[in-house]
Amino acid sequence: MVFGLGRTSPRVTAPLSFATVANVRTIAPEERERLIAAPGFGTVFTDHMVTIKWTGDHGWHDPQVRPREPFTLDPATMVLHYAQTIFEGLKAYPAEDNLVTLFRPGENARRFNASARRLAMPELPEHLFIAAIEHLVRADADWMPSGGGSLYLRPFMFADETFLGVRPAHSYVFCVIASPAGSYFKGGECPITVWVSDRYSRAAVGGTGAAKCGGNYAGSLAAQAEASLHGCDQVVFLDAAHHRWVEELGGMNIFFVMSDGSIVTPPLGTILPGITRASIISLARADGMLIEEKRYAADEWERDAANGRLREVFVCGTAATIVPVGKVCSRAGKCLIGAGEAGPVTRDLRHRLLAIQRGEAEDRFGWRHPIQLESPQEARAERAGRCE
Ligand code: PLP
Ligand code: COI
């Protein structure tokens, strides 16, 4: 993966300690229970957020766990004009007594810094990225939904300098917010319908496709709107040079299951290196399945679906988990995949991945990152505004 010059923060040498400013106006317990009973995705938020500032003079400083509240931004704040902003997405799952587990947060920390380098932003030391998330999970552990849900964590960073010249900003805010989450798609794990775009591209060689930056998502929205117009749930992007090779969706990676049991997924390069994608590859390979990271063309997809060589298609991501594709539409026409139903390989991989994430299966790859929650007494002290 080739990224541009980023900026490291050599000034962070000693561990920073997080100050806690408790939210005195937390949402009432009954209202919180109502909100987390069926949270859907991305609409319910917890009581706190974590922020850490960066400036050229002071590096990373002032880490805080504080009440979740709006930012005040000058109209000339650089991110509003030049989109220097990156983010991550990961989930915390309930575990046994007083424990919550994150899924592979170190991978998110590393990808966050790869995105930072590509967007010429400062890198955040991995231990600070993870500590920020742990602090927020501890502060808002009461927001963990039961019944198969999780707490979706959204770390992000943006340029907050007030300036209109075009150059990397001299100051940034890193922030983590949390959102109780159920299914990303309204239909839960039911097969989705995808639209293959022959008009728009998501990324080009040398561009920002492998970075998780806001601009990639802004650029995907017109294509996603076109997919919706055609009655589809999601858009599939093809490569920018030939409009032939399948890349990924607006917010998910994609896999193809063949009749001989082999699995194909597009190679890294211009796509986001998904952590779910990497986990599926490891899981399947450990069980002796053949997974090939290789180019697969939209016309091959159409032909293989028609001749029965293609048995299943599924998409994957942190928010979406693993979801089958039941129907594919394009200007050339429509076709069903596996009679429109979820296939056995998709169901099995989904089941096995979720079992590891939820702590129901052995963590043979060491992917789970446990967080010890505070005792109720400690939590009360925290809420009373203790500073560390
Ligand atoms: N591709 C894109 C464009 C995404 O936004 C996401 C979601 O984060 C993914 C793929 C899947 O990545 P991950 O599995 O790390 O969530
Ligand atoms: C995630 O899966 O975490 C993402 O950021 C993708 C987005 C579609 C919500």
pLDDT digits (tens, 9 = 90+) for 237-262: 999 999 999 999 999 999 999 999 99
CA of 65 to the centre of ligand 2 (A): 24
Confidence category of residue 370, pLDDT binned at 50, 70, 90: very high
Task: Report the distance separating Cα 323 and Cα 185, nearest Å.
Answer: 9
Instruction: Count how many domains the chain has.
Output: 2
Give 3-36 pLDDT, tens digit per residue: 334 565 545 556 789 999 988 999 999 999 999 9
**What's the pTM value of the predicted model, to 2 decimals?**
0.94
Confidence band for 387, pLDDT divided at 50, 70 and 90: very low
Q: 175 with 26, same domain?
A: yes
71 and 157 co-located in one domain = yes
User: What's the CA-to-centroid distance between 46 and ligand 2, angstroms?
Assistant: 18
Would you say the CB of residue 317 lies under 6 angstroms from ligand 2? yes
Looking at the structure, do residues 34 and 172 belong to the same domain, yes or no? yes
pLDDT in tens, 177-203: 999 999 999 888 899 999 999 999 999
Q: Domain holding 136: CATH number?
A: 3.30.470.10
Is 14 contained in some domain?
no
- Give whole-number Cα distances, 5 to 13, 54, 117, 313, in Å: 22, 17, 6, 37
In this structure, is residue 363 part of a structural domain? Answer: no
Same domain, 294 and 162: no
Q: How much is the pLDDT for 386?
A: 40
Whether residue 149 sits in one domain with residue 272: no
Question: Do residues 93 and 146 lie in contact, with contact meaning Cβ atoms separated by under 8 Å?
Answer: no
Q: Is residue 308 situated within a structural domain?
A: yes
Q: Is 63 within the bounds of a domain?
A: yes
Judgement on whether residues 251 and 170 belong to the same structural domain of the protein:
no
**What is the Å distance from ligand 1's center to 273 Cα?**
7
> Within this chain, do residues 210 and 314 fall inside the same structural domain, yes or no?
yes
Distance 13 CA to ligand 1 centre (A): 32
Core vs surface per residue 254-271: b (16+ CB within 10 A) or e:
bbbbbeeeebbbbebbbb
Location of structure tokens 């003079």: 57
Q: pLDDT tens digits, residue range 282-340? A: 999 999 999 999 999 999 999 999 999 999 999 999 999 999 999 999 999 999 999 99
In terms of residue numbers, what domain contains 280? 192-357
| Same-domain check for residues 117 and 242 | no
Atom of ligand 2 nearest to the CA of 184: 9
Residues 225, 269 within the same domain: yes
| Same-domain status, 262 and 284 | yes
Name the percent of the chain lying above pLDDT 70: 93
Query: Is 319 near ligand 2, meaning CB less than 6 Å away?
Result: yes
The predicted pLDDT at position 188 comes to 87
What is the 3-class SS of the chain, one letter each residue? CCCCCCECCCCCCCCCCCEECCCCCCCCHHHHHHHHHCCCCCCCCCCEEEEEEEECCCEEEEEEEEECCCCCCCCCEHHHHHCCEEECCEEEEECCCCEEEEECHHHHHHHHHHHHHHCCCECCCHHHHHHHHHHHHHHCHHHCCCCCCEEEEEEEEEECCECCCCCCCCEEEEEEEEEEECCCCCCCCCCEEEEECCCCCCCCCCCCCCCCEHHHHHCCHHHHHHHHHCCCCEEEEECCCCCCEEEEECCCEEEEEECCCCEEECCCCCCCCCHHHHHHHHHHHHCCCCEEECCCEHHHHHHHHHHCCEEEEEEEECCCEEEEEEEEEECCEEEECHHHCCCHHHHHHHHHHHHHHCCCCCCCCCCEEEEECCCHHHHHHHHCCCCC
In a domain? residue 274 = yes
> Domain with 255 in it: what CATH number?
3.20.10.10
Tell whether 376 and 347 lie within a shared domain: no
Compute the chain's Rg from CA coordinates.
21
